[in-house]
Amino acid sequence: MKGHDFIDNIMYIYYGTNGTLRKDLGGNVIVIGAVFALAPQILTAIILFLRNRRPRHFNTFYPICLNLLLTLAASNFSFVLGVQATRNPVKCELIAIVLHYLHLCTSIWCFIYIYVIYDLIVNECGPKLKYNYLMGYGVPAVYVLFSYASSIDTFEVHHYCWMSIQKGMIVSFMIPISFLIILTTVLGTISLKRISSKQTAILCESIESIIETTSKCNDIM
């Protein structure tokens, strides 16, 4: 197993030495899992759209949530349809680029969602959708194009349509995704602490108000 990378070693442990069996079973399990994940994502997006289609029910977070769900569903859908389409190398490479872009879009929209919550709590500012769209779709496009131009051989097109871990997947995908996950987690934690502090302050004010009201009633009596 020394000549294999980490992913190959995992597949070896699960499916043994039979390469054909390993590919069939592994591919089927992954695709079935993606299909099961895709169904609730589409259903949630439809429910969200129906709930917010009327102006009086419109929520400021609705565009962000909808874009997050759409990019997530699109990445899963592209994965299900194209990750094993290795017959045409050009098409396979294009699918890998699209998957790279959609995964980055999903991660950035997750970050935007948490950042908007943080900004709303700390600065009491509503979301600025123009900049969110630019960041959610523009930044990943620039990064993917730059990544592809700097290393054309990054993608694997023989066994599956995705990035090759030996040819730059860590730098082009794992590092930015990990950075976004850490940043989103930190902002989410700070937001939860701020929400908790505000709730505590509101509760204290309510208790003080009740005590004052009770004292006034006692004085009157």
When the pLDDT of each residue in the chain is averaged and rounded to a whole number, the result is 76
Per-residue pLDDT at 58: 54
**Rounded to 5 degrees, what angle do the CA atoms 52, 36, 17 make?**
150
pTM for this prediction: 0.75
The string of pLDDT tens digits covering residues 147-180 is 888 877 778 777 778 887 777 788 888 899 999 9
More confident residue, 67 or 31: 67
Query: What is the percent of the chain where pLDDT is above 90?
Result: 20
Reported confidence tier of residue 20, pLDDT bands at 50, 70, 90: very low
Residue ranges of domains in the chain, CATH in brackets: 1-207 (1.20.1070.10)
Reported confidence tier of residue 218, pLDDT bands at 50, 70, 90: low
CA distance 102 to 96: 10
Whether the pLDDT of residue 124 is over 80: the answer is no
Per-residue pLDDT at 8: 43
